[in-house]
Chains A and B, each alone.
Chain A
Amino acid sequence: MSRRFAVLAALTVVCAGVELVAGRGMSPAVVWDVLGGGGDTTERHILFQLRLPRLLVALGAGACLGVAGLVLQSALRNPLAGPEVTGVTPGAVLGAVAATGLGLAGWESPLAVVVAACVGGCAGAALLWLLAGRGRSDPAQTAVHGVLVSAVLGGLTAMVLLVAPGELGSVVQWLVGTTEGRVWQHWHLLWPWALAWGAAAWLLAGPLTLLRCGDDIALAAGLSAARARALALLCAVALTAGAVAAVGALGFVGLLVPHLALAVFGADLRVTLPGAALVGAAVVCGADAAAQLSSRLLADALDSGRLTLPVGALTACLGAALLLLVVRRAPSRTF
């Protein structure tokens, strides 16, 4: 197990390294030089004020989303319950956009954005809870209802954006999820939140492992299933909201990462939860590096400087492919 952790950690470090050198404007040799203490002011600024915080934010957001997805899937016993398909992410986006659009929060008061995203995420999850009703136990039904909830929340977001059209340009990047232009402020906001709720999630790892076995077994083992589930859901919503407030709605990371983590580390969440954080960080970081590299290549090929590929688009495509796989791999079940 520790060897797997070591391999994954190495992979994350490699991804982080690629991410540091992937951007435009500096060759790898210059990056190495700057890290060694050389380079002129511009290069130092690019590396330490732009690329490093971006890297850290990508790592932190990926870890948050990975843990949130795993907690959700375990608490609801539903392999399709990512934050995206349970209404949490669209709700968080709606909350943040509404708070920004109505002037209650802005980039100057980032904590308000996080709180608004959190409230919105809770509202989205509650809406799904009400809508799914008795069909909650059927994973595919819940997922389908989640898509419906997302549609309603998306409509509301659109209305808010139309009331405050000036925000559209900055918000669109955020609807798809991007790590572009993230600076130290975002990181300072993200890490205490992520650390606190991540620790809470890790404390819940034991109960969650029991919950995965089913309510009957959990009750027999002396666990108050309803309370543990409520706490776990709160944890997942808070983690998702933090990540959404930092980088926007990164598509399908919360759905993709838990499957990878479970495949690598097995079903014991005390091990898998940190593993999911590591996998999430590696995936988002790697996707960001790939997005930067490919947008660089595309810009060279198409000869247009303004082309940038947001990382959210890449993760959405990956996640869509994975969703297809999950749906196809279980032909005998009802979904």
Chain B
Amino acid sequence: MRFAGGWQLPVLVALLVAASACALSLGTPYVPLHRLPGALMDADSTLAGIVVTELRVPRLVLAVVAGACLGAAGLVLQEALRNPLAVPEMLGVSSGAALGVAAPLVLSVSLPAAVQPLLAIGGAGLGGGLTLLAAGLGRSPSAVLLTGAAVAAALQAALLVLMVMADQLDLQLIYRYLLGSLSARTWDDVTGLWPWLLVAVPALVLCAPVLSVLRLGDEDAEALGVRAQRARLAALAIAVVLIAPVTAVCGPVAWVGFLAPHLARWFNPAADAVRWLPWSAAWGAVVVAVADVPARLALAPVETPVGAWTALVGVPAGVALLRSGSRRPAARRRAAGTVAAGSVPQGAQAVPAGPSEKEEPSTGARECVRRAAPGSDGPSGVSASRGEATGAEEVR
């Protein structure tokens, strides 16, 4: 596992190159790889050139940009809430944005294209804000998640009411949109994203160091001079600005914000938020670009939405990564726990929190002591490998 960090870059680049090659050359018409430069050169003269430059390249660019945004936003949310399961889908952000986009479509209110991202941002802010308001900012991670699930369910219900009202044609459109699809996106959609990225990227760079401080826990962060609540709100706002425009263009591509940060962490467990941020964005881009290939080609004449693929693969893979990641800190704590049980709670808060590490400090210490008991690691290992097995089945 020590050299996994070194493998990260080659794996990433190889996957991205393979996915782009497939995305650009496969399909009808099939453009062999050695003809691609030629097709890109004389874009307007040949059919292959037009298809590649006007359809496939913008689609690939959009997949990469959208994936990067979602991956970065996922990491920001997870770090700000100190919760490995805090993803846009679980916080009501995605459902809110989707509702904001779908509502005018069904109610047949015609809007200029520039307003759509604004509506999506409004919806996303509403969903995320509602969740955090209802849950309270400093509450335990599971409380935030369950509240988010409730808010998402309510927003989903509103969406379904809209879908029931829609007629058959609208319904197909909305359903595809809601699953997240990259089909028939052009350069216009890509250029629509740039203004938002111009706002979000500098904010992201400014925010990243604060995120590493937030990981220490609220009290330590306050002691270091960070206003924890305000920083958390800012992080949420950045995440909303990153997610909403992407959702407006290609729908809520599900669970990329869950998978990408975990991939980044798995390859490089010892780093901090600043280091993870670019990797998470890169992994998000790779995930969406790779998932778009089967989405476009699997059932060839019919396009499947990319969001369905990311949901099918992303959730089991993410859970498996979460499991394997949370076993390591547990082992580290077991070593620490035998030395000095008193110093453990701080450590438990500082390591990336696995699902079982969200207890209050006292229970954390107890949990740690319980884990320190010999032989108690067996079931965890077994269940984790079982989880991976189900993950593999899902992938298949």
A residues neighboring B (CB under 8 Å):
80, 85, 127, 130-131, 133-135, 138, 140-141, 143-145, 147-148, 151-152, 154-156, 158-159, 161-163, 165, 168-169, 172-173, 175-176, 178, 251-252, 306-310, 312-314, 316-317, 319-321, 323-324, 327-328, 331, 334-335
The answer to whether B308 and A140 have CB atoms under 8 Å apart is no
A148 to B323 alpha-carbon distance, docked (Å): 14
Residues on B with beta carbons closer than 8 Å to the beta carbon of A165: 172
Residue contact A156 to B154, C-beta cutoff 8 Å? no
Q: In the complex the two chains form, is A131's CB within 8 Å of B156's CB?
A: no
Interface pair A323/B149, CB less than 8 Å apart:
yes
**B383 contact from A133, A151, A308, A334, Cβ within 8 A:** A133
User: Which one of B149, B161, B359 lies within 8 Å of A313 (CB-CB)?
Assistant: B161
User: Within 8 Å CB of A321, what residues of B?
Assistant: 150, 154
8 A Cβ contacts from B148-162 to A: 149-151, 153-154, 156-158, 160-161
**Chain B residues, CB < 8 A from A335:** 140, 142-143, 146
Q: Contact: A143 with B158, CB < 8 Å? A: no
Q: Is the CB of A143 within 8 A of B390?
A: no
Tell whether B339 is near chain A: CB-to-CB under 8 Å: no
The chain B residues found within 8 Å of chain A, CB to CB, are 85, 89-90, 134-135, 139-140, 142-143, 145-147, 149-151, 153-154, 156-158, 160-161, 163-165, 168, 171-172, 175, 179, 254-255, 299, 302, 304-305, 307-308, 311-312, 315-316, 319, 323, 355-356, 358-360, 363, 379-380, 383-384, 386-387, 389-390, 394
Whole-angstrom distance between the Cβ of A152 and the nearest chain B Cβ: 5
The interface residues of chain A lying within 8 Å CB-to-CB of B316 are 152
Assess whether A334 is in contact with B85, with CB atoms less than 8 Å apart: no
Question: A327 to B145, alpha carbons, bound, how many Å?
Answer: 10
A65 vs B143: C-alpha distance when bound (angstroms): 25
**Contact: A317 with B157, CB < 8 Å?**
yes
CA distance A320 to B154 in the complex (A): 6
How far, in Å, is B316 (CB) from chain A's closest CB? Answer: 7
Please determine whether A320 and B150 come into contact, CB atoms closer than 8 angstroms: yes
Q: Which residues of A contact B134 (CB under 8 A)?
A: 324, 328
* Interface SS of A by simple majority: helix
Residues on A with beta carbons closer than 8 Å to the beta carbon of B140:
334-335
**How far apart are the CA atoms of A140 and B143 in the complex, in Å?**
8
Given A152-B312, A323-B146, 18 new contacts (CB under 8 A) = A80-B146, A135-B355, A141-B142, A141-B356, A152-B394, A158-B175, A162-B302, A168-B168, A169-B171, A307-B165, A310-B161, A316-B157, A320-B154, A323-B150, A324-B150, A328-B134, A331-B139, A334-B142
In this complex, what residue of B is CB-closest to A319?
B153
Rounded to whole angstroms, the CA-CA distance of A172 and B159 in the bound complex is 11
8 examples of A-B residue contacts, CB within 8 angstroms: A131-B319, A133-B380, A168-B175, A169-B168, A176-B157, A306-B165, A313-B157, A324-B147
- Quick check: B147 and A327 within 8 Å, CB to CB? yes
Q: Are B394 and A173 in contact (CB under 8 A)?
A: no
Chain B residue nearest to A172 (CB atoms) is B163
Question: What residue of chain A has the Cβ atom nearest to residue B139's Cβ?
Answer: A331
* List of B residues within 8 angstroms of A145 by Cβ: 319
Residues of A within 8 A of B302 (CB): 162-163
Asked if B390 contacts A130 (CB within 8 A), the reply is: yes
